[in-house]
Amino acid sequence: MAVHEKRGGLVIEAKLKFPLLCDLGEGSLWDEKEQVLYWVDIAQNKVFRYNPQNGSNLAYDVGENVGTVVLTINDKLLLALRSGFAWLSPNTGRVTHLVDPEADKPHTRFNDGKCDPKGRFWAGTLVEDSQKGDGALYCLDTDLTVTRKLTGVTCSNGLVWSRDKRYFYYIDTPTLQISCFEFDLETASLGARRVVAELPRDTGAPDGMTIDSEDGLWVALFGGGRVIRIDPLSGQVDYEVEVASPNVTSCAFGGPELDELYITTARVGLSDEHRRKYPLAGSLFSVKLPFQGVPAYRFAREL
C-alpha cells in the first residue's frame, strides 16, 4: 500500500476491486445488512450489486438512465431515474415508477441522491443542454410527495448530512464548491448557506461525496483522478486517494468495519489516447483507510 506526503496531507493509492468498462459508474451505496455494494452505470441503464465475499457483480437493467440507488427499510431499492423516482424489486428486477417532478423538462435527468436521517430520499437533476441552472434538488418524503428544495441547479451531485444532523453538505458541480446549509431535521428545511471549500479548476470537478464518523467530507474529483478528504471547518484537504482513472465519480464507505472506501469511475469523456493510458477507467476501486464511515440511511417506508 503506497502512502506518501503531498500538499500537507496524506495520499494513498486505491486498488482495483472489480474490472468493468462503465461509461459512467456512479451512485455507490453500502448495504451494511447484506455486506454488499450497490452502484450504477448511468449511461448503460444498469444497477449493480457487488458482493466482495465472492467477487460477483449482479446487474439489473432498469431500461433508462439511473442516477443513484438507495435502500428501503424492507430491502427494496429506490431509484432516481431519468424519468423521476421509482423502485426496484431485487428479487424480480421489476421497476415501478412513482413520480417525475420534471416531466416537462426532457433536457434534464436525475443524478446523485441519498436518504436523510429521517428516511426521506433527496435527489437532484442535471441539465444536459445549454440551459444552465434549470435543474433542482428534490426531496421524496415517505408519503411519496415531492418537494423542491433548491433551484438554479446545473449538475446536482454529492450530498451528505453531518453526524449531529444539523448541517447538510451539497455539491452543484459547475460551481466547484462544497456548500453547507443549516438543516432542520423535523421539517427538512434548509437554512443559511456557507461555502466550505471552492476547488481550483485544475484539480478536477467535485462529484459524488460521502462522510466519515469524524464529519470529514470525502469528495470524488471528476477529471482529477482522486478522492479528497476535506475538513468542513477549515476547508482544507488533509487526505487524498489516488485512482487509476481520471474521472472519479462517487465514493462510499463499506466493509465489515466501514473502513474501506469504494470508488466508482467513468470512461465517458476520455479520448482514445486516455482510454489506452487508463485501461481500468470505468472500474470499481477500493482502499482501506484509517477512518470509518457511517451506515447509509434507508428510505423509511416499505415499498
Task: Give me the DSSP letters along 256-288.
Answer: TTS-EEEEEEE-TT--HHHHHH-TTTT-EEEEE
CATH number (domain holding residue 46)? 2.120.10.30
The C-alpha cell at 297 is: 440511511
CB 263 within 8 A of CB 286: yes
How far is the C-alpha of 184 from the C-alpha of 230, rounded, in Å?
23
The single residue listed with the C-alpha cell 482501506 is 288
How far is the C-alpha of 254 from the C-alpha of 214, rounded, in Å?
16
CB 241 within 8 A of CB 221: no
Of 169, 163, 159, nearest in space to 293 by CA: 163
User: Is 207 assigned a catalytic role?
Assistant: yes
The pLDDT of residue 10 is 79
The C-alpha cell at 181 is: 446549509
State the greatest distance between any 2 C-alpha atoms of the chain, in Å, as a whole number: 51
Q: Region 165-194: what's the mean pLDDT?
A: 98
Whether 6 shows a pLDDT value over 60: the answer reads: no
CB 46 within 8 A of CB 66: yes
299, part of any domain: no
Within 10 angstroms of residue 112's Cβ, the number of other Cβ atoms is 29
How far is the C-alpha of 21 from the C-alpha of 10, rounded, in Å?
29
163, part of any domain: yes
194, HSE (Cβ side, Cα atoms, 13 Å): 8
Q: Distances in Å between the alpha carbon of 52 and those of 42, 140, 254?
A: 22, 31, 10
The C-alpha cell at 60 is: 439489473
Task: Render pLDDT for 67-123 as a digit per residue (tens, 0 to 9).
Answer: 999 999 999 999 999 999 999 999 999 999 999 999 999 999 999 999 999 999 999
Within 10 angstroms of residue 84's Cβ, the number of other Cβ atoms is 21
How far is the C-alpha of 167 from the C-alpha of 26, rounded, in Å?
24
Three-class SS state of 198: strand
Task: Render pLDDT for 12-26 as a digit per residue (tens, 0 to 9).
Answer: 999 999 999 999 999
Q: Region 121-133: what's the mean pLDDT?
A: 94
Domain count, the chain: 1
297, part of any domain: no
CB 296 within 8 A of CB 36: no
Q: Which of 207, 212, 215, 272 is catalytic?
A: 207
**pLDDT more than 90, % of the chain:** 95
* Predicted confidence band of residue 11 (pLDDT cuts 50, 70, 90): confident
100, part of any domain: yes
CB 90 within 8 A of CB 75: yes
Strand partners, 85: 80, 99
The pLDDT of residue 111 is 97
49, part of any domain: yes
Residues 6+ apart with CB under 8 A from 215: 162, 163, 232
Of 229, 210, 214, nearest in space to 171 by CA: 210
> What is the domain range of residue 233?
3-288
298, part of any domain: no
The Cα angle at residue 209 between residues 223 and 290, in degrees rounded to 5? 100
How far is the C-alpha of 294 from the C-alpha of 177, rounded, in Å?
23
- Average pLDDT across the chain, whole number: 95
The Cα angle at residue 77 between residues 250 and 19, in degrees rounded to 5? 45
Whether 3 shows a pLDDT value over 90: the answer reads: no
